[in-house]
Every structure is written in C-alpha cells, then in structure tokens.
Homo-oligomer: A and B are copies of this chain.
Amino acid sequence: MSTPEHRDDWVWERTSFDARHTAKTESVLAQGNGYINVRNAEDESYVGQTRGTFVTLTFNKAMPDEVTELPNLPDVTAIDLSVNGERFSLDRGSHSDYLLRFDVRTGEVERRVVWTSPAGDTVSVRSRRFVSLVNKHLVVASLEVEALSGPVSLVVESGIDARVSNSGSQHCFDGEKRLMDGRILRLSTRTCQSRIPIAVHCAHAFSRDPISAIPVMERRRVIMRYRLEAVPGEPVVIEKASCYHTGRDLSFVTADNPGGTTESAPVLAAGDSCIASLEGASYDGTLAASRALWDRYWEHADVRITSDDPFDQLGMRLALYHLNIMVERGDSRAGIGAKGMTGEGYKGHSFWDTEIFLLPHYALTDPAAARALLEYRYRSLPGAFAKARENGYEGAMFPWESAWLDDGETTPLYGGADIVTGESIPILTGMLEHHITADVAWGTWLYYLVTGDDDFMERCGCALLLETARFWASRLEWKGALGRYEICNVIGPDEYKEHVDNNAFTNYMAAFTLERAAEVIDGMAERWPRAHAQLSERYNLHELAARFRERQSALYLPVSGEDGLVPQNDQYLSLRRVDLSKYRDEAGVSSIYEDYGQDEMNDIMVSKQADLVMLLRVMPRLFDPETRERNFVFYEGRCLHDSSLSHAQHGILAAWMGLDEMALDLYRHAVRIDFGDNPTSSDAGIHSANMGNVWQCAVCGFAGLHWDDGELSLENHLPATWEELSFEIAWRGARLRVTLTHAGFEVTHLSGAPVTLTIDGEHASVAPGARVGGGERA
C-alpha cells in the first residue's frame, strides 16, 4: 500500500496537485480547536470542492423531513485571485513547484505554487491558513502573490459566503450584511429552526494599500473586491482574519439556559469586539501564540514510534492532531461527531464511537476531557428517558445518534438504495441498535477505573450506571420455556444484520451494565454518599440492585459450542455462506450492497465488523485463550472491515494473540483509512473513532495496556519492525511515561501519587520521580 508523500514525521506534504484528492484533503487537513472546524479547501474553487465550517453545538434542522445536524456555516476560506483578468486556478494555464505542506505541530497548512496564466503571466502564489488554539473564534489566512514575469494587475475577491450548504440543505438565513469602518465585513444570520444567532466577521490587511476596495453585497454573500498592482521583487501580502460567534457560545450560557442566547445583538457585539481586537495583529504573531498551546499539547500527548516505516509515526501524530481538534474540552454540552467537525458526514452526531473508541484515549491522557464527554451523556439523560418511555422501557435508553442535549434520537430514517426493492433502505439503528446504552455504562466504568474520580461518580457516574441498568432490566425479555431472559430484535455492532436475537456483544454488555450498577449500589452509601442520598429519594436502591442481579444472572449469555464458536447471534451460524473474496480484497467502502439487497444481507454469513472481536476487546478476559483465538480467526474471516471502527480493534486482538504481522498490518490499515491514498475515503470527514482506534492499537494493543481489573497492566506486544514505542498516560491523578522496546518496558513516574501496576504479569510499583522496567518481548 502506498502512502502520501511526507517530509518527516511531523510534516505531511504533497508535491503535485491532483483534483481527485480535493474533498479528502479538505477533511484530513481540516483545522480546528474543538469550538470551530474549517475544512481545508483551497482559496480558489474546484469541482468537487466542499468548503465546510462547523461550530460546535449549532445544531439545526434544515427541513421538516430531515434530522438536526451541524450546519455548514458561512465560508471565509474562499479567496478568488485573478491575474491580469485571468482567474487563478491550477486547472488553468500551467504550474510548477507545487507544494502542499501540513505542519502537524500547529495545524498550519501552506500551499505554494508558481502559476502561469493562460495569457502567459507568471506569478508565485503562497497561501497559508490556520485556526487559533488561543482565540477559539479565529480563522487566519495569508495570501502572498509575487509577479515573476513582469508587473501584473491583481483582483482579489474575499469576504463571507453564506451560499454554502449541507449537500444542498440550507440552515441559515440570508442574513444582514455590513461593511463597518470601511474595513470589516460582517454577516449576521441565524439558523432557520433552532434560531441560533450566528455572527461572522472578517477583515483584510495588506502589505501595501490596494488601488481600490469595493464592497460587493449579493444574496448570501458579502465580499470586498480589491484591485492591486504587483511588480517583480515585491510580493503583495494579504492577511485575512475571520471570527465566528454563535448564540450557543459558553459566554452566553446561564444557569437557567444551557442553550445560550437567541438574541443577535450580544453575539454581534462579541464578534465586533473580537475582530476589532485583532487590528494590527499579524498572521505570524497570531500563529506563534497558537503554536505555544500546540507545543504544550504535544509535550504530553505525543506518542513516539520508532519504526522502519516513518508513516507509522506520522500517521499516529495525524490521529493525535485530530484527537485534539475534535473535542471541546471545556464544554460538557458537546459530544464528538463521528466525523468530528471535519465534514457534514454523520451530521455532527455522536455515536457509541465516543465511549468505546475515543474515551479510552481521553481517559488515559486527558481525564478532564473524558469527564466532559460523559457529563454530556449525563446532561442528555432527559432525551434518553424520553426515548425509553416512547419505546415502553424504563430508565435511560440513549439515542443511537445524539446531537443537542434535549434532541433525543436523531438518527435519520432512510439511507442508500436497496438494490432489490429500488427504495431507500430504512435506517433501523436508531430503533434497534440498543447496545449504545451499555456502551455508555462501559465508558462510565472505564473512566472511573482509570481516574478514580469519585466526584464524577457522585454527580453523574452513579446515575448513569443506574439509569442504563434500569433500561436493560426493563428491556430483557423473559422466555418462560427456556427459563431465561433474552434480548431479541436488535442490531449489534455488525450492522449488516438487522433484527437479530441474542447478539453476543449486546447481551454481555447488558449483563455488564446490570452487574456494575448492582455493585455500585452496594457501595454507594459509603463511597458516594451524595449520589446515594439523591438516588435514594427516587428509587428503592436495595430492591433495584436485587432486580439488576436477578436479571443479570438469568440473562442468556452465548458461549462456545462444540466447534468452539460463540454464536454472534442466534441466527448467524446457520446463515448461508457465500464467497466473500471479491469484497475482502476491496479497499475502501465495500461494494457488497451493489450485489445484495438488505433482506439478502440478513441471510448471508458476512459481517461489516465482527461482533465477537468487539466483545473480546471490551472484555479482554472473557472465555479461555483458545476460544478467543478460535473466534477471532473465524469471525475475522467473515468480516469485510466495512466500517472504519473495525481494523484497529482487530489489530488490538491480533496483538494480544501474538499475531504480530497481522496486528501491524491492521494498524497501518487503520492509519490509512483517513491518511492513506484512497482519494475518496474521507470526503465527508475523517473518522473520529478511528483516531482513537489508532491510539488504542498502539497503546492498548502493542503496549498491552489494560485497566479492566481496576489496575494498570502492560504487556509487551511491540511489532518486530518497531524499535520503540513511548507515550504518556494519566492514571488516577498520576502521570506516567511508558516506553517499550523489545527489551521491555520502562515506566517513569512524572507526577501525582505512586502507582501500582503489572508489567507483563509482574506486579510493580512506581513512585514520583522513579522508573520501573520489565516485560522483555518473548
């Protein structure tokens, strides 16, 4: 598999322009800070380009027949340049010395090119852009044009464009446009249904005054048209600072109203003062300030890999880059979208991705971020209660897709074409993919095990476990003839299969939830007295624990049969087998839906991702090693990895089972889902969960980090071609640096209380300032 060009393990480069990569590059090199995210579109326009700017929490429903989503807000990235009347575009004229350079350390993107217009004028063009980590409202761009073949007249059109949409669905009003002080462009708009005020400002600064500056106000667009002269030897530099403010900004939140304000005036005022404060600030100065915060991030977050393939390192850093820009740490009203905010895919909605794929990373590196994500679930409980009620259940039934706090379920109802019926395939995940509610419980317990955060348990954790368990207790179906509870008619992680009974992943995770909740109730009075007091008012906790235990103990949990296979669900092992080689060899999205209708998919033995593999990953000690391996091998063979969630999780299992080459191959596959050379894999946004997966594959897979027993443990599964893997983790208030080589681990205690841990089966303890070793690779 080839990889994109890259210069070193901090810089991603491409030295030739290929329009086929347009949308993917926009996603992969998206820039942001958790509050805002800007797709990395070129200044000039191309077919296939999808400019996108998303600001956290601005959820809106564009049309009555659509679901709420994160709107594509008015664009500031477009800067149209013409040279002696010829529109600058790499599709036109000729060009050389192309360089696209993404600095992972700061998120700055630079594009350089020498362009000769169809009329024969040659200029060099340098475009740079970044999003600030300091002032989170801020998007900054710089355009530098130098005449190379002789003096040229330039026209630069730049401003704010509200014609962008989410694939044609418009969320924002046309709005009110203004030019203020002859210098600042302002667009005031609002979302059409949620009525969130949005203010977009921008201002331009020049290395030399333009000859003329004309404001152009059109429908959904306000720009300045600048005319400039450029002569050889004197580059013309245009710097553009833009800022976004919305009524959902934390500064407008009050105790009564987590939704912020629906008044435009304060939002405009915030933007007015923000853009005014930038007067005189330079691109380079603003970037330097942002870089300082990035440096601080990398100091703790970097995962260092020494490998024969340098892309192993760069890929990890790209994942860590995205893990930093996808999360709005200070805001417990926000989840993480399945594409972060790097594109309109999955509409900015949060899925189980958060708890299963991302939370391990945040809990083990940045516990405050992890806590905010779980607090988001806690604050979304009203929607989960409502969903349970509507479906005839108790407790909290979390939405499969989650948006604004009180939206409840936001899964769209229809998807792609059914090849057989010719109709849109109904999307049943919102109705049937119930395991999300256990995943939230699993994430809650993971967070507690890793952090020991009793305050969180008091405020949110106990309630989350209790309410999710209440759901499961009511969800189980008693089968009198069999004398057991079952869970029928669900979708498991393997979404190819609808309406299945006793999905192994779902049943075990439901049992986990009931068991943990019962345990938590037992210890609550003592360990979390405030939660106990509060929840006791609502429930008879003793009875509840007893009920949870009764249900859990009588819940059917599939085990292996004579052939050693644990059935993925009641139906799977008797399904028709078909030749999967055609689909197994594909890169990217599987074409299997081009050959089978949804009804047929339910009848053949093929998986999107393997439920048993996921189960073995979230419960690493389940079954004996032989059963684990038998099932891993079997289910891997039926799986098309037609989900970005799949590869790296399989990689973890492969590492644990000592299948070294396979594990590394799966790691590399995971890295390349977004950062590889498939030109369309990430058009609608990067795969956030996969970013957490890449981290998990290294840390939980190759370094064998486990927390399940309530103790930190490490196992050396370092790939043969890796020399060293080194990362920092947070564990119960302490920070440790873990470095492993084939010679074993070195664990250095950086801060916090002493930590006891297991290194390749040996108990150890490490105190502040000390280091311990162990675990040579077999």
A46-B47, A92-B91 known; A417 vs B179 contact (CB < 8 Å): yes
A224 nearest CB neighbor, chain B only? B417
Give the CA-CA distance A47 to B46 in the complex, in Å.
Answer: 6
CB–CB B169/A170 < 8 A: yes
A170-B169, A178-B423, A424-B177 known; A417 vs B219 contact (CB < 8 Å): no
Q: Smallest CB–CB gap between A112 and chain B, Å?
A: 21
Which listed residue (B165, B178, B180, B424) contacts A168, Cβ 8 A?
B165
CB–CB B167/A416 < 8 A: no
* Residue numbers in B under 8 Å from A417 (CB-CB): 177, 179, 214-217, 222
CB–CB B173/A65 < 8 A: yes
CB–CB B218/A167 < 8 A: yes
CB–CB B182/A416 < 8 A: no
Which listed residue (B91, B167, B180) contacts A220, Cβ 8 A?
B167
CB–CB A169/B423 < 8 A: no
CB–CB B170/A164 < 8 A: no
Between A173, A175, A415, the greatest number of chain B beta carbons within 10 A of the residue's beta carbon is seen for A173
CB–CB A419/B215 < 8 A: yes
The interface bits of chain A over 47-69 (1 if a CB of B lies within 8 angstroms of the residue's CB, else 0) are: 11000000000000011111000
Interface membership of A594, Cβ < 8 A: yes
Interface membership of A162, Cβ < 8 A: yes
CB–CB B216/A416 < 8 A: yes
A47-B46, A220-B168 known; A174 vs B66 contact (CB < 8 Å): yes
A190 nearest CB neighbor, chain B only? B65
Interface membership of A212, Cβ < 8 A: yes
Q: Smallest CB–CB gap between A718 and chain B, Å?
A: 39
A66 nearest CB neighbor, chain B only? B174
Interface membership of A163, Cβ < 8 A: yes
The interface bits of chain A over 673-701 (1 if a CB of B lies within 8 angstroms of the residue's CB, else 0) are: 00000000000000000000000000000
* Residue numbers in B under 8 Å from A415 (CB-CB): 217
A215-B422, A417-B216 known; A170 vs B594 contact (CB < 8 Å): no
A216 nearest CB neighbor, chain B only? B417
Interface membership of A451, Cβ < 8 A: no
Give the CA-CA distance A218 to B417 in the complex, in Å.
Answer: 8
* Residue numbers in B under 8 Å from A99 (CB-CB): none
Which listed residue (B92, B165, B176, B422) contacts A424, Cβ 8 A?
B176
Interface membership of A541, Cβ < 8 A: no
Interface membership of A45, Cβ < 8 A: yes
A89-B47, A167-B163, A170-B62 known; A416 vs B218 contact (CB < 8 Å): yes
A:162-204 near B, CB below 8 Å: 162-170, 173-182, 192
A186 nearest CB neighbor, chain B only? B422
* Residue numbers in B under 8 Å from A89 (CB-CB): 47
Q: Smallest CB–CB gap between A64 and chain B, Å?
A: 7
A:581-607 near B, CB below 8 Å: 594
Give the CA-CA distance A66 to B189 in the complex, in Å.
Answer: 12
CB–CB A168/B170 < 8 A: yes
A:442-475 near B, CB below 8 Å: none
Which listed residue (B64, B170, B217) contacts A165, Cβ 8 A?
B170
Give the CA-CA distance A230 to B762 in the complex, in Å.
Answer: 67
Q: Smallest CB–CB gap between A117 and chain B, Å?
A: 12
* Residue numbers in B under 8 Å from A164 (CB-CB): 168
* Residue numbers in B under 8 Å from A178 (CB-CB): 422-424
A63-B192, A175-B65, A178-B422 known; A220 vs B169 contact (CB < 8 Å): yes
Give the CA-CA distance A127 to B66 in the complex, in Å.
Answer: 35
A63-B174, A174-B66, A424-B177 known; A212 vs B594 contact (CB < 8 Å): yes
Give the CA-CA distance A170 to B166 in the complex, in Å.
Answer: 10
Give the CA-CA distance A169 to B19 in the complex, in Å.
Answer: 27
The interface bits of chain A over 65-84 (1 if a CB of B lies within 8 angstroms of the residue's CB, else 0) are: 11000000000000000000
A45-B47, A47-B45, A89-B47 known; A168 vs B162 contact (CB < 8 Å): yes
Q: Smallest CB–CB gap between A678 and chain B, Å?
A: 13
CB–CB B165/A165 < 8 A: yes
Give the CA-CA distance A417 to B222 in the complex, in Å.
Answer: 9
Between A20, A214, A216, the greatest number of chain B beta carbons within 10 A of the residue's beta carbon is seen for A214
Between A167, A216, A417, the greatest number of chain B beta carbons within 10 A of the residue's beta carbon is seen for A417
CB–CB A219/B182 < 8 A: no
A416 nearest CB neighbor, chain B only? B217
CB–CB B424/A173 < 8 A: no
Which listed residue (B20, B167, B169, B214) contacts A419, Cβ 8 A?
B214
CB–CB A169/B174 < 8 A: yes
Q: Smallest CB–CB gap between A196 and chain B, Å?
A: 14
* Residue numbers in B under 8 Å from A424 (CB-CB): 176-178, 217
* Residue numbers in B under 8 Å from A166 (CB-CB): 219
Give the CA-CA distance A222 to B63 in the complex, in Å.
Answer: 18
Q: Smallest CB–CB gap between A219 and chain B, Å?
A: 5
Give the CA-CA distance A168 to B222 in the complex, in Å.
Answer: 14
Q: Smallest CB–CB gap between A82 and chain B, Å?
A: 10
* Residue numbers in B under 8 Å from A222 (CB-CB): 417
* Residue numbers in B under 8 Å from A594 (CB-CB): 212, 214
Between A64, A89, A424, the greatest number of chain B beta carbons within 10 A of the residue's beta carbon is seen for A424
Q: Smallest CB–CB gap between A165 and chain B, Å?
A: 6
Which listed residue (B87, B173, B180, B181) contacts A64, Cβ 8 A?
B173
* Residue numbers in B under 8 Å from A182 (CB-CB): 422
A:237-259 near B, CB below 8 Å: none
Give the CA-CA distance A348 to B422 in the complex, in Å.
Answer: 35
Q: Smallest CB–CB gap between A650 and chain B, Å?
A: 28
A63-B192, A65-B175, A174-B63 known; A219 vs B169 contact (CB < 8 Å): yes
Give the CA-CA distance A482 to B619 in the complex, in Å.
Answer: 98
A:738-756 near B, CB below 8 Å: none
* Residue numbers in B under 8 Å from A92 (CB-CB): 19, 91
Give the CA-CA distance A525 to B206 in the complex, in Å.
Answer: 75
Q: Smallest CB–CB gap between A272 and chain B, Å?
A: 13
Give the CA-CA distance A3 to B524 in the complex, in Å.
Answer: 86
Q: Smallest CB–CB gap between A422 and chain B, Å?
A: 3
Between A173, A221, A422, the greatest number of chain B beta carbons within 10 A of the residue's beta carbon is seen for A422
Question: 4 extra interchain contacts, Cβ-Cβ under 8 A, other than A164-B168, A167-B220, A218-B416?
Answer: A165-B168, A179-B422, A180-B422, A214-B417
Q: List 28 A-B contacts (CB under 8 A).
A: A19-B92, A47-B47, A63-B170, A63-B174, A64-B192, A65-B175, A66-B174, A91-B91, A91-B92, A163-B167, A164-B168, A165-B165, A165-B170, A166-B219, A167-B221, A168-B170, A169-B219, A177-B424, A179-B417, A179-B422, A179-B423, A215-B419, A215-B422, A216-B417, A217-B415, A217-B416, A217-B424, A218-B416
The 3 closest A-B pairs by CB, nearest first: A163-B168, A179-B422, A215-B417
